[in-house]
Amino acid sequence: MQFRMIHNNINVLDLDRSMKFYAEALGLFEVKRIVPESGDVRIVFLGDGQSNHKLELTQITGRTNPYEPGDNGRHLAFSTDDFQGSLEKHQKMGCVKSVNKASGIYYLEDPDGYTIEILPLGRG
């Protein structure tokens, strides 16, 4: 019996804002969309064009209260082939949460408060 990771899900308050953030910050793009007839939820899967793993963004229509991402260290992680360039880009975007120079990594915060770890390519 084998298992394969296929996606991670996060709930977002504003789907369009989150899609724009993930496109600009990490180059992710829509690969699949699910909108049931009821219209009570919108689901978009984002991909990076390199791996099979997807990020599922789910918006519950009508929700107005922000989500609480929690304080248990849960996060997404991405690697980059241009660590310094991506750090500078994310600093200009104003989404860098913290930089750990000793570990050579940094963290972003998305529009809903989720943490994203950025590592140099080959780490992680």
User: pLDDT tens, 70-87?
Assistant: 766 678 999 999 999 999
pLDDT at position 72 is: 64
Average pLDDT, integer, range 76-105: 95
Measured distance CA(112)–CA(69) in Å, rounded: 8
Query: What pLDDT does residue 124 have?
Result: 66
What per-residue confidence (pLDDT) applies to 9? 93
Average pLDDT of the segment spanning 51-58: 95
Angle between helices 83-93 and 15-26 (to 10 degrees): 140
